[in-house]
Structure 1
Amino acid sequence: MQKILVVGSINMDLSFECKRLPNLGETIISNNYKKYCGGKGANQAVALARLESDVTMIGVVGDDNYGHELCSNLKFNQVKTTGIRFSKEVSSGLASIIVDETGNNQIVVYPGANYELLVPDIDKLEALIVETDYVVCQLEIPIVTVEYVLQKAKQLGKTTILNCAPARELTKKILEYCDFLIPNETELQVITNTHYPLINETELITATQKLSKQGVKNIIVTLGAKGVLYANAEQTQFLKAFSVKAIDSTAAGDSFIGGFVTSLANGKTIVDSLEFANKVAAITVTRRGAQISLPYLYEVENYRFSS
Structure 2
Amino acid sequence: MNKVTVLGSLNVDTSFRIKSFPQPGETVQVKEKSNAAGGKGANQAVAAAREGAQTAFIGQIGNDSAGKFMLDSLEADHIDGTYVSQNESVGTGTANIMLDEAGQNCILVYGGANQALTDRDVQKAEPIIKNSDFIVAQFETPQAAAITAFKIAKANGVTTVLNPAPAPAKAIDPALLQLTDIIVPNELESASITGIKITDEASMIQTAAQFQKMGVPNLIITVGDKGAFYSTEAGHDLIPAYKVKAVDTTAAGDTFIGAFVSQIAPDFSNIVSAIKFAEHASSLTVQRLGAQPSIPKLEEVLVAEKESAS
TM-score of the superposed pair, with normalisation by structure 2: 0.91
Measured in 2, the distance between the counterparts of 1:97 and 1:254 equals 15
Q: 2:12 corresponds to which residue? A: 12
Measured in 2, the distance between the counterparts of 1:207 and 1:70 equals 37
Q: 1:41 corresponds to which residue? A: 41
CA contact (8 A) 2:95 2:108 kept: yes
Return the offset for 1:234: 5.7
Kindly provide the CA deviation profile for residues 196-231 of structure 1, in whole angstroms up to 9, marking residues without a partner as x. x32122112111111112221110111111111111
Q: 1:274 corresponds to which residue? A: 275
Return the offset for 1:98: 3.4
Question: Residues 282 and 105 (structure 1 numbering): CA distance in 2 closer, same or farther, change over 3 Å?
Answer: closer
Q: 1:298 corresponds to which residue? A: 299
Kindly provide the CA deviation profile for residues 158-194 of structure 1, in whole angstroms up to 9, marking residues without a partner as x. 1111111111232222111111110110011011133
SS of aligned partner of 1:15: strand
Q: 1:177 corresponds to which residue? A: 179
Superposition map of 1:214-253 within 5 A: 214-233=214-233, 235-253=235-253
Question: Residues 218 and 92 (structure 1 numbering): CA distance in 2 closer, same or farther, change over 3 Å?
Answer: same
Return the offset for 1:236: 2.0
The one-letter amino acid of 2:289's match is R
CA contact (8 A) 1:243 1:305 kept: no
Kindly provide the CA deviation profile for residues 88-137 of structure 1, in whole angstroms up to 9, marking residues without a partner as x. 11100011233455656553211000011110101122111122221111
Return the offset for 1:147: 1.7
SS of aligned partner of 1:96: strand
Question: Residues 186 and 20 (structure 1 numbering): CA distance in 2 closer, same or farther, change over 3 Å?
Answer: closer
SS of aligned partner of 1:135: strand
Q: 2:115 corresponds to which residue? A: 115
Larger deviation: 266-275 or 218-227? Answer: 266-275
CA contact (8 A) 2:99 2:248 kept: no
Structure 1: segments with no counterpart, 5+ residues = none
Q: 1:254 corresponds to which residue? A: 254
Superposition map of 1:33-182 within 5 A: 33-101=33-101, 106-168=106-168, 169-182=171-184
TM-score of the superposed pair, with normalisation by structure 1: 0.92
Kindly provide the CA deviation profile for residues 24-75 of structure 1, in whole angstroms up to 9, marking residues without a partner as x. 5666653322111100000000001111210001100111011100110110
Q: 2:287 corresponds to which residue? A: 286
Return the offset for 1:280: 1.4
Return the offset for 1:244: 2.4
Higher relative contact order (CA 8 A, sep 6+): 2
Question: Residues 183 and 19 (structure 1 numbering): CA distance in 2 closer, same or farther, change over 3 Å?
Answer: closer
Measured in 2, the distance between the counterparts of 1:54 and 1:251 equals 20
Structure 2: segments with no counterpart, 5+ residues = none
Measured in 1, the distance between the counterparts of 2:277 and 2:195 equals 30
**Count of aligned residue pairs for this structure pair:** 305
CA contact (8 A) 2:105 2:248 kept: no
Measured in 1, the distance between the counterparts of 2:162 and 2:104 equals 28
Q: 1:188 corresponds to which residue? A: 190
Question: Residues 91 and 262 (structure 1 numbering): CA distance in 2 closer, same or farther, change over 3 Å?
Answer: same
SS of aligned partner of 1:94: strand
CA contact (8 A) 1:209 1:233 kept: no
Percent pairwise identity: 39
SS of aligned partner of 2:245: coil
